[in-house]
């Protein structure tokens, strides 16, 4: 088996959320991997314009963004995208209003914060990070979807209410925290986008490895032939991994790539 592509989740995998940086050992390991002609991709719930300087400086060959709703190459060219249908955007907005949830829609160039920004747990951290404030637009008018459609949403509220709504919704809901959910078009998740990227690159799943740590990484890991869970990963992710490496801040990426015999 020859690994041709390695895909990394961002938060908790490449990016240490405690220190707000990519560990130096991970930076060096990825540079060494790329010198060996192994391609490098990122799969994240973030938008491609919301990765921040630390992640951007790694120069990923491909970015699977918006929880699988968007795939771009290193130049930002869109290779594939799937919009949330207009009727589903309206249904999600109505529900968010009813339960007073925090709601962000991610469009091709900016994130629009529709309501209750104080409930969006990652918002201030990202705005005050190296991402900066430019990608974030506060939009209480709640009408941007009349002009263009989003590829993903971030919904923050009572988990029981959201899960009950999700059962009867055509949208795909991926929980990433106690109150936070990534929402994507029906049938779209990181795993589907990985499969689409592999098809475009003509790479077999057996020749692709991935690193992940959270619930929303499950579909990505199931789409790849080799699965590495971070030491700080959720138990459910460790359970489906081929190997559990060390924590993100304890050379997890470096040790995982050594296990794969890429370095």
116 exposed, middle or buried (CB, 10 Å; 0-12, 13-18, 19+)? middle
Q: Are 161 and 189 in contact (CB under 8 A)?
A: no
d(CA 250, CA 236): 21
Per CATH, which fold does 5-81+189-259 belong to? Rossmann fold (3.40.50)
Please count the other Cβ atoms lying within 10 Å of the Cβ belonging to residue 173. Answer: 20
Question: What number of residues does the chain have?
Answer: 263
pLDDT in the model for residue 174: 86
- Chain centroid, CA 124 distance in Å: 18
- Of 140, 107, 111, which Cα lies nearest the Cα of 123? 111
Q: Which residues of 61-83 are buried (b: 16+ CB within 10 A; e: fewer)?
A: ebbbbbbbbbbbeeeeeebbbbb
From first to last of the 263 residues of the chain, give the pLDDT tens digit: 589 999 999 999 999 988 889 999 999 999 999 999 999 999 998 999 999 999 999 999 999 999 899 999 999 999 999 999 999 999 999 999 999 999 999 998 899 999 999 999 999 988 988 899 999 999 999 999 999 999 999 999 999 999 999 999 999 998 888 999 999 998 899 999 999 999 999 999 999 999 999 988 999 999 999 999 999 999 999 999 999 999 999 999 999 999 999 99
CA atoms within 13 A on the CB side of 158: 9
For the chain, the structural domain boundaries read 5-81+189-259, 86-184
Residues 12 and 256: their CA atoms lie apart, in Å, by: 14
Q: For residue 202, what are the contacts with CB-CB under 8 A and spacing of at least 6?
A: none
The owner of tokens 């990519």 is 22
Look at residue 45 in the predicted model and tell me its pLDDT. Answer: 87
Q: Residue 44: which of 210, 196, 228, 156 has the closest Cα?
A: 210
Phi and psi at 63, nearest 5°, equal -125, 120
What's the pLDDT score for residue 1? 57
Report residue 51 as tokens.
């990765």
Domain 86-184 sits in CATH at 3.30.1240.10
């Amino acid at each position: 088996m020859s690994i041709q592509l390695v895909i990394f989740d961002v938060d908790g995998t490449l990016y240490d959320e405690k220190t707000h940086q990519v560990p130096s050992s991970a930076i060096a390991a990825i540079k060494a991997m790329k010198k060996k002609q192994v391609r490098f991709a990122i799969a994240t719930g973030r938008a491609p314009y919301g990765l921040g300087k630390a992640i951007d400086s790694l120069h990923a060959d491909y970015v699977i963004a918006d929880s699988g709703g968007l795939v771009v190459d290193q130049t930002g060219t869109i290779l594939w995208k799937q919009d949330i249908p207009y009727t589903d955007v309206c249904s999600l907005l109505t529900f968010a209003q009813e339960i007073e949830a925090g709601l962000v829609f991610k469009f091709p160039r900016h994130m629009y914060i529709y309501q209750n920004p104080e409930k969006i747990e990652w918002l201030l951290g990202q705005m005050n990070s190296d991402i900066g404030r430019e990608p974030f637009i506060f939009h209480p008018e709640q009408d941007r979807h009349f002009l263009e459609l989003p590829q993903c949403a971030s919904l923050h509220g009572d988990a029981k209410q959201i899960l009950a709504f999700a059962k009867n919704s055509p949208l795909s809901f991926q929980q990433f925290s106690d109150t936070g959910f990534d929402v994507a078009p029906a049938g779209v998740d990181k795993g589907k986008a990985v499969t689409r990227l592999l098809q475009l690159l003509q790479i077999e799943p057996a020749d692709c490895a991935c690193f992940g740590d959270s619930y929303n990484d499950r579909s990505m890991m199931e789409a790849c032939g080799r699965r590495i869970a971070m030491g700080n990963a959720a138990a459910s992710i460790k359970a489906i991994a081929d190997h559990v490496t060390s924590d993100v801040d304890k050379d997890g990426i470096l040790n995982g790539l050594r296990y794969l015999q890429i370095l």
